[in-house]
């Protein structure tokens, strides 16, 4: 025969086990509820949204890189100092030339990737794993190139705008206002393209994560 003390202990163990089961069921219900709430708003994971985001970001990148390149190419200005004609051209600076090349290359390859994206979507097919990786690699390389070109041009533009008192370099924007304005506009559009390329790279990496090699 079991003692009253053993009976009480059995009841307490059964009660604790029942509470444990109830807590487990409650946790599962909470997870299911959270999952249901997330699935109720799947907008940001729908193929339609991702397709629109990719196409829009590639269009933004193409337009901004093209405008940045065009503004830099047309930034020529002539002035006269002490009776001597002087010119300011982007081609006089290796950093500005690299900036133009970087934007031209980024514009071209993002345009190609846009055409490939549209072809995939028109055919109603999803890119294969290798294609997803190539898209991600292309976007990342163009982002890196844009950052490098923009950083180089910004450094030279800063010297042209404010000079460098330690090196004895004076500012030239007081004499070449139109040139500096176009360089500034070009840099602004280039920074916009960097932001769009960064977001595009993140989206491409998400797709590649869902479809690894």
pLDDT for the residue 43: 45
pLDDT, tens only, 154-168: 998 888 888 777 776
Among the listed ranges 7-16, 82-91, 133-142, 188-197, which one has the minimum average pLDDT value? 7-16
In angstroms, rounded to a whole number, what is the distance separating the alpha carbons of residues 200 and 65? 15
CA distances from 11 to 7, 15, 16, 21, 24 (A): 6, 6, 9, 15, 20
Mean pLDDT across the stretch 164-188? 83
| Average pLDDT estimate for 165-181 | 79
Q: Does residue 124 come out as left (phi exceeding 0), alpha (psi in the -120 to 50 range) or beta? A: left
The pairing of beta strand 84-88 with beta strand 77-81: antiparallel
Strand partners, 79: 86
DSSP 46: S
Beta bridge mates, 78: 87
DSSP structural state of residue 164: B
43-210 is classed in which CATH architecture?
Up-down Bundle (1.20)
Q: Where are the domains of the chain?
A: 1-41, 43-210
Longest alpha-carbon distance in the chain: 121
The answer to whether residue 46 scores a pLDDT higher than 60 is no
The residue among 27 and 72 whose pLDDT is bigger is 72
- Alpha-carbon distance of 188 to 58, in angstroms, equals 17
- Interacting residues of 115 by C-beta distance below 8 A, sequence separation 6+: none
- Both tokens of 79, joined, read 């002035």
The CB density around residue 76, as the number of other CB atoms within 10 Å, is 14
- Which pLDDT does position 119 carry in this prediction? 84
* Residue pLDDT, tens place only, 93-132: 899 999 999 999 999 999 999 998 888 777 766 566 677 7
Q: Which candidate, 128, 148, 156, places its Cα nearest to that of 193?
A: 148
Overall size of the chain counted in residues: 213
For the entire predicted model, the pTM comes to: 0.71
Quick one: pLDDT band at residue 187, thresholds 50, 70, 90?
Answer: very high
Q: pLDDT digit string (tens) for 55-64?
A: 899 999 999 9
């Amino acid at each position: 025969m079991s003692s009253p003390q053993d009976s009480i202990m059995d009841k307490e163990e059964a009660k604790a086990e029942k509470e444990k089961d109830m807590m487990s069921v409650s946790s599962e219900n909470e997870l299911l509820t959270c999952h249901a709430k997330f699935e109720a708003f799947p907008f940001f994971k729908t193929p339609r949204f991702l397709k629109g985001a990719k196409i829009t970001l590639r269009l933004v990148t193409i337009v901004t890189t093209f405008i940045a390149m065009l503004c830099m190419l047309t930034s020529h200005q002539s002035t006269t100092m002490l009776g001597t004609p002087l010119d300011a051209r982007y081609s006089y600076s290796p950093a500005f030339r690299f900036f133009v090349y970087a934007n031209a290359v980024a514009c071209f390859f993002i345009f190609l990737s846009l055409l490939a994206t549209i072809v995939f979507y028109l055919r109603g097919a999803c890119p294969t794993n290798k294609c997803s990786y190539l898209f991600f690699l292309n976007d990342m390389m163009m982002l890196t190139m844009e950052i490098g070109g923009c950083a180089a041009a910004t450094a030279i533009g800063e010297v042209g705008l404010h000079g460098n008192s330690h090196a004895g370099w004076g500012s030239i924007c007081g004499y070449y206002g139109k040139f500096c304005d176009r360089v500034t506009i070009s840099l602004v559009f280039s920074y916009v393209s960097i932001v769009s390329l960064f977001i595009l790279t993140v989206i491409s990496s998400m797709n590649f994560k869902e479809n690894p090699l």
